[in-house]
Amino acid sequence: MWFLIVLLIIVLIIAFKSIKIVKQAEVYIIERLGKYHKIADAGLTIIVPFFDHVRSVVSLKQQTMDIPPQGVITKDNVTITIDTVVFYKITDPAKAVYEIQSLRKGIEYLAITTIRDIVGKMDLDQTFSSRDAINDQLRLILDEATDQWGCKVDRVEIKDITPPADIRDAMEKQMNAERNKRAAILQAEGERQSAITIAEGEKEAAILAADADRESKIRRAEGEADAIKKVAEAKAKEIEMVYGAIKKAAPDDKLVQIKSLEALKEIADGKANKVFVPFEATGALSGLGAAAEVIKEKSSK
Protein backbone atom coordinates (compact mmCIF):
# COMPACT_ATOMS: atom_id res chain seq x y z
CA MET A 1 0.00 0.00 0.00
CA TRP A 2 2.70 2.47 0.97
CA PHE A 3 4.67 1.44 -2.08
CA LEU A 4 1.80 2.42 -4.36
CA ILE A 5 1.42 5.78 -2.65
CA VAL A 6 5.14 6.52 -3.04
CA LEU A 7 5.06 5.42 -6.65
CA LEU A 8 2.07 7.67 -7.34
CA ILE A 9 3.86 10.61 -5.78
CA ILE A 10 6.95 9.97 -7.91
CA VAL A 11 4.79 9.77 -11.05
CA LEU A 12 3.11 13.06 -10.20
CA ILE A 13 6.47 14.74 -9.61
CA ILE A 14 7.83 13.44 -12.91
CA ALA A 15 4.68 14.59 -14.71
CA PHE A 16 4.92 18.01 -13.10
CA LYS A 17 8.54 18.27 -14.15
CA SER A 18 7.90 16.99 -17.66
CA ILE A 19 4.79 18.86 -18.73
CA LYS A 20 5.09 22.62 -19.35
CA ILE A 21 2.39 24.92 -20.65
CA VAL A 22 3.75 28.01 -22.45
CA LYS A 23 1.50 31.08 -22.56
CA GLN A 24 0.70 33.05 -25.68
CA ALA A 25 3.35 35.67 -26.68
CA GLU A 26 5.96 33.86 -24.53
CA VAL A 27 8.70 31.31 -25.18
CA TYR A 28 10.72 29.08 -22.91
CA ILE A 29 14.46 28.67 -23.27
CA ILE A 30 15.08 24.94 -22.58
CA GLU A 31 18.54 23.69 -21.53
CA ARG A 32 19.62 20.05 -21.39
CA LEU A 33 22.41 19.23 -18.99
CA GLY A 34 23.34 22.94 -18.82
CA LYS A 35 23.45 23.45 -22.58
CA TYR A 36 20.97 25.23 -24.85
CA HIS A 37 18.54 22.69 -26.23
CA LYS A 38 15.52 24.37 -27.80
CA ILE A 39 12.93 27.15 -27.70
CA ALA A 40 9.46 26.08 -26.57
CA ASP A 41 6.70 28.07 -28.22
CA ALA A 42 3.20 28.73 -26.86
CA GLY A 43 1.25 25.59 -26.01
CA LEU A 44 2.05 22.22 -24.38
CA THR A 45 5.71 21.24 -24.14
CA ILE A 46 7.22 17.97 -22.80
CA ILE A 47 10.72 17.98 -21.36
CA VAL A 48 12.87 15.24 -19.84
CA PRO A 49 12.86 15.53 -16.07
CA PHE A 50 16.16 15.97 -14.26
CA PHE A 51 17.91 16.45 -17.63
CA ASP A 52 16.02 19.42 -19.08
CA HIS A 53 15.06 22.61 -17.30
CA VAL A 54 13.65 26.01 -18.22
CA ARG A 55 16.49 28.53 -18.29
CA SER A 56 14.35 31.62 -18.94
CA VAL A 57 10.87 32.74 -19.88
CA VAL A 58 11.08 35.39 -22.62
CA SER A 59 8.19 37.68 -23.56
CA LEU A 60 7.71 38.45 -27.26
CA LYS A 61 5.40 41.40 -26.65
CA GLN A 62 6.30 45.06 -27.19
CA GLN A 63 8.07 46.25 -24.05
CA THR A 64 8.80 49.67 -22.62
CA MET A 65 11.67 50.81 -20.48
CA ASP A 66 12.02 54.14 -18.72
CA ILE A 67 15.55 55.49 -18.79
CA PRO A 68 16.30 57.31 -15.51
CA PRO A 69 16.58 61.10 -15.97
CA GLN A 70 20.13 61.97 -16.94
CA GLY A 71 22.07 65.21 -16.64
CA VAL A 72 23.54 66.09 -20.02
CA ILE A 73 25.86 68.99 -20.89
CA THR A 74 25.05 70.77 -24.15
CA LYS A 75 27.50 72.30 -26.59
CA ASP A 76 27.12 75.73 -24.95
CA ASN A 77 27.91 74.26 -21.49
CA VAL A 78 24.37 74.16 -20.10
CA THR A 79 23.45 71.15 -17.95
CA ILE A 80 19.97 69.84 -18.73
CA THR A 81 18.05 66.80 -17.50
CA ILE A 82 16.57 64.46 -20.12
CA ASP A 83 13.93 61.83 -19.40
CA THR A 84 13.61 59.11 -22.06
CA VAL A 85 11.50 56.01 -22.75
CA VAL A 86 12.49 53.15 -25.10
CA PHE A 87 10.09 50.78 -26.90
CA TYR A 88 11.66 47.48 -27.92
CA LYS A 89 10.76 43.89 -28.86
CA ILE A 90 12.78 40.65 -28.63
CA THR A 91 13.16 39.01 -32.03
CA ASP A 92 15.65 36.21 -31.09
CA PRO A 93 15.04 34.87 -27.56
CA ALA A 94 18.21 32.76 -27.54
CA LYS A 95 20.45 35.75 -28.28
CA ALA A 96 18.58 37.86 -25.73
CA VAL A 97 19.42 35.27 -23.06
CA TYR A 98 22.92 34.13 -24.04
CA GLU A 99 24.51 37.15 -25.79
CA ILE A 100 24.19 39.59 -22.89
CA GLN A 101 23.99 39.28 -19.13
CA SER A 102 21.01 41.66 -18.80
CA LEU A 103 19.28 42.97 -21.87
CA ARG A 104 17.46 45.78 -20.02
CA LYS A 105 20.66 47.01 -18.38
CA GLY A 106 22.45 46.91 -21.72
CA ILE A 107 19.73 48.99 -23.42
CA GLU A 108 19.69 51.45 -20.51
CA TYR A 109 23.44 52.07 -20.46
CA LEU A 110 23.62 52.28 -24.24
CA ALA A 111 20.75 54.81 -24.30
CA ILE A 112 22.42 56.99 -21.64
CA THR A 113 25.76 57.17 -23.44
CA THR A 114 24.10 57.79 -26.80
CA ILE A 115 21.93 60.62 -25.44
CA ARG A 116 24.98 62.33 -23.97
CA ASP A 117 26.84 62.01 -27.25
CA ILE A 118 23.99 63.39 -29.37
CA VAL A 119 22.94 66.24 -27.09
CA GLY A 120 26.56 67.18 -26.38
CA LYS A 121 26.87 68.28 -30.02
CA MET A 122 23.84 70.61 -29.84
CA ASP A 123 23.14 74.02 -28.38
CA LEU A 124 20.42 74.45 -25.77
CA ASP A 125 17.96 75.92 -28.27
CA GLN A 126 18.58 73.04 -30.66
CA THR A 127 17.72 70.46 -28.01
CA PHE A 128 14.25 71.98 -27.63
CA SER A 129 13.61 72.38 -31.35
CA SER A 130 15.15 69.08 -32.49
CA ARG A 131 13.38 66.46 -30.40
CA ASP A 132 12.31 64.45 -33.43
CA ALA A 133 15.86 64.45 -34.78
CA ILE A 134 17.24 63.30 -31.42
CA ASN A 135 14.62 60.54 -31.20
CA ASP A 136 15.43 59.29 -34.70
CA GLN A 137 19.21 59.27 -34.15
CA LEU A 138 18.85 57.56 -30.79
CA ARG A 139 16.55 54.89 -32.22
CA LEU A 140 18.88 54.12 -35.13
CA ILE A 141 21.94 53.78 -32.89
CA LEU A 142 20.14 51.64 -30.32
CA ASP A 143 18.55 49.43 -32.98
CA GLU A 144 21.89 48.79 -34.66
CA ALA A 145 23.68 48.09 -31.38
CA THR A 146 20.99 45.78 -29.94
CA ASP A 147 20.60 43.71 -33.12
CA GLN A 148 23.34 41.33 -31.93
CA TRP A 149 21.31 40.80 -28.72
CA GLY A 150 18.24 39.63 -30.65
CA CYS A 151 16.37 42.84 -29.93
CA LYS A 152 14.74 45.45 -32.15
CA VAL A 153 14.23 49.03 -30.92
CA ASP A 154 11.02 50.31 -32.51
CA ARG A 155 10.75 53.76 -30.98
CA VAL A 156 12.53 56.18 -28.65
CA GLU A 157 10.77 59.19 -27.13
CA ILE A 158 12.16 62.04 -25.05
CA LYS A 159 9.50 62.65 -22.40
CA ASP A 160 10.94 65.79 -20.90
CA ILE A 161 13.88 68.18 -21.15
CA THR A 162 14.44 70.18 -17.96
CA PRO A 163 16.95 73.07 -17.97
CA PRO A 164 18.31 74.64 -14.76
CA ALA A 165 16.12 77.09 -12.81
CA ASP A 166 18.09 80.19 -13.86
CA ILE A 167 17.96 79.13 -17.49
CA ARG A 168 14.18 78.60 -17.22
CA ASP A 169 13.78 82.10 -15.76
CA ALA A 170 15.86 83.59 -18.57
CA MET A 171 13.88 81.65 -21.16
CA GLU A 172 10.58 82.80 -19.65
CA LYS A 173 11.75 86.42 -19.71
CA GLN A 174 12.85 85.99 -23.31
CA MET A 175 9.49 84.46 -24.23
CA ASN A 176 7.65 87.31 -22.50
CA ALA A 177 9.79 89.84 -24.37
CA GLU A 178 9.06 88.08 -27.66
CA ARG A 179 5.33 88.01 -26.93
CA ASN A 180 5.35 91.70 -25.98
CA LYS A 181 7.26 92.53 -29.14
CA ARG A 182 4.82 90.57 -31.30
CA ALA A 183 1.90 92.24 -29.52
CA ALA A 184 3.41 95.70 -30.13
CA ILE A 185 4.04 94.86 -33.79
CA LEU A 186 0.48 93.60 -34.21
CA GLN A 187 -0.92 96.70 -32.50
CA ALA A 188 1.17 99.03 -34.67
CA GLU A 189 0.14 97.10 -37.77
CA GLY A 190 -3.50 97.34 -36.74
CA GLU A 191 -3.25 101.11 -36.13
CA ARG A 192 -1.52 101.59 -39.48
CA GLN A 193 -4.16 99.57 -41.27
CA SER A 194 -6.89 101.50 -39.45
CA ALA A 195 -5.34 104.84 -40.46
CA ILE A 196 -5.05 103.67 -44.06
CA THR A 197 -8.67 102.52 -44.06
CA ILE A 198 -9.88 105.83 -42.57
CA ALA A 199 -7.84 107.84 -45.11
CA GLU A 200 -9.19 105.76 -47.98
CA GLY A 201 -12.72 106.20 -46.67
CA GLU A 202 -12.30 109.99 -46.40
CA LYS A 203 -10.81 110.05 -49.89
CA GLU A 204 -13.73 108.06 -51.30
CA ALA A 205 -16.19 110.32 -49.45
CA ALA A 206 -14.51 113.48 -50.85
CA ILE A 207 -14.57 112.03 -54.36
CA LEU A 208 -18.24 111.11 -54.03
CA ALA A 209 -19.07 114.58 -52.62
CA ALA A 210 -17.21 116.27 -55.49
CA ASP A 211 -18.98 114.06 -58.02
CA ALA A 212 -22.34 114.83 -56.41
CA ASP A 213 -21.65 118.60 -56.41
CA ARG A 214 -20.52 118.50 -60.04
CA GLU A 215 -23.58 116.47 -61.02
CA SER A 216 -25.81 118.95 -59.12
CA LYS A 217 -24.24 121.95 -60.89
CA ILE A 218 -24.56 120.24 -64.25
CA ARG A 219 -28.23 119.46 -63.67
CA ARG A 220 -28.89 123.01 -62.35
CA ALA A 221 -27.21 124.51 -65.41
CA GLU A 222 -29.15 122.17 -67.67
CA GLY A 223 -32.37 123.21 -65.88
CA GLU A 224 -31.58 126.92 -66.22
CA ALA A 225 -30.69 126.47 -69.87
CA ASP A 226 -33.88 124.55 -70.44
CA ALA A 227 -35.88 127.28 -68.65
CA ILE A 228 -34.22 130.04 -70.72
CA LYS A 229 -34.90 128.04 -73.85
CA LYS A 230 -38.57 127.65 -72.94
CA VAL A 231 -38.89 131.38 -72.06
CA ALA A 232 -37.26 132.31 -75.34
CA GLU A 233 -39.59 129.95 -77.18
CA ALA A 234 -42.59 131.49 -75.36
CA LYS A 235 -41.42 135.06 -76.20
CA ALA A 236 -40.85 134.08 -79.77
CA LYS A 237 -44.30 132.51 -79.93
CA GLU A 238 -45.83 135.63 -78.34
CA ILE A 239 -44.07 137.91 -80.83
CA GLU A 240 -45.15 135.61 -83.61
CA MET A 241 -48.78 135.79 -82.43
CA VAL A 242 -48.64 139.61 -82.12
CA TYR A 243 -47.04 139.92 -85.49
CA GLY A 244 -49.67 137.63 -86.96
CA ALA A 245 -52.47 139.63 -85.37
CA ILE A 246 -51.04 142.90 -86.64
CA LYS A 247 -50.54 141.44 -90.06
CA LYS A 248 -54.08 140.12 -90.07
CA ALA A 249 -55.51 143.52 -89.00
CA ALA A 250 -53.62 145.32 -91.87
CA PRO A 251 -53.57 148.81 -90.22
CA ASP A 252 -53.08 151.86 -92.36
CA ASP A 253 -50.79 154.79 -91.61
CA LYS A 254 -53.50 156.86 -89.99
CA LEU A 255 -54.44 154.16 -87.51
CA VAL A 256 -50.79 153.69 -86.59
CA GLN A 257 -50.40 157.43 -86.03
CA ILE A 258 -53.52 157.55 -83.84
CA LYS A 259 -52.31 154.59 -81.71
CA SER A 260 -48.97 156.25 -81.36
CA LEU A 261 -50.63 159.46 -80.18
CA GLU A 262 -52.69 157.57 -77.60
CA ALA A 263 -49.61 155.85 -76.31
CA LEU A 264 -47.85 159.16 -76.08
CA LYS A 265 -50.77 160.57 -74.11
CA GLU A 266 -50.62 157.72 -71.58
CA ILE A 267 -46.93 158.29 -71.18
CA ALA A 268 -47.45 161.99 -70.60
CA ASP A 269 -50.13 161.38 -67.95
CA GLY A 270 -47.60 159.67 -65.63
CA LYS A 271 -46.54 161.96 -62.80
CA ALA A 272 -43.05 160.68 -62.58
CA ASN A 273 -42.57 160.52 -66.31
CA LYS A 274 -40.66 163.14 -68.19
CA VAL A 275 -41.12 163.13 -71.96
CA PHE A 276 -38.68 164.79 -74.29
CA VAL A 277 -40.12 165.29 -77.74
CA PRO A 278 -37.56 166.00 -80.47
CA PHE A 279 -38.14 169.04 -82.66
CA GLU A 280 -38.30 166.94 -85.75
CA ALA A 281 -41.29 165.04 -84.29
CA THR A 282 -43.48 168.18 -83.92
CA GLY A 283 -44.44 168.08 -87.57
CA ALA A 284 -45.72 164.58 -87.26
CA LEU A 285 -47.55 165.41 -84.07
CA SER A 286 -49.21 168.45 -85.68
CA GLY A 287 -50.35 166.27 -88.56
CA LEU A 288 -51.76 163.78 -86.10
CA GLY A 289 -53.56 166.55 -84.25
CA ALA A 290 -55.15 167.82 -87.40
CA ALA A 291 -56.25 164.33 -88.36
CA ALA A 292 -57.79 163.88 -84.93
CA GLU A 293 -59.78 167.11 -85.25
CA VAL A 294 -61.15 166.05 -88.64
CA ILE A 295 -62.28 162.75 -87.22
CA LYS A 296 -64.05 164.49 -84.31
CA GLU A 297 -65.93 166.87 -86.60
CA LYS A 298 -67.15 164.02 -88.74
CA SER A 299 -68.38 162.15 -85.75
CA SER A 300 -70.29 165.20 -84.40
CA LYS A 301 -72.21 165.65 -87.64
Q: Which residues lie below 8 Å from residue 21, measured CB to CB, with a gap of 6+?
A: 43, 44, 45
SS3 of residue 209 by DSSP: helix
Model-level pTM? Answer: 0.55
Residues 6+ away with beta carbon under 8 Å from 268: 275
CA dihedral 216, 219, 222, 226 (to 10 degrees): -120
Amino acid, res. 27: V
Give the separation between CA 83 and CA 74, rounded to whole angstroms: 15
CA angle (157, 160, 161) in 5-degree steps? 115
Give the chain's domains with CATH numbers: 2-59 (no CATH), 63-163 (3.30.479.30), 251-301 (no CATH)
Contact partners, residue 106, CB within 8 Å, separation at least 6: 100, 146, 149
Q: Measured in whole angstroms, how far is the alpha carbon of residue 260 from the centre of its chain?
A: 94
3-state secondary structure of 91: coil
Do the beta carbons of residue 153 and residue 138 sit within 8 Å? no
pLDDT in the model for residue 281: 47
> pLDDT tens digits, the chain, 301 residues: what are they?
677 777 777 777 777 778 888 888 899 999 988 888 898 888 888 888 888 888 889 999 999 999 888 888 888 888 889 999 999 999 999 999 999 989 999 999 999 999 999 988 888 888 888 888 899 999 999 999 999 999 999 999 998 888 877 777 776 777 777 778 888 888 888 888 888 888 888 888 888 888 888 888 888 888 887 878 887 777 777 777 766 666 666 655 655 566 555 555 555 555 545 544 444 445 554 554 555 554 555 455 5
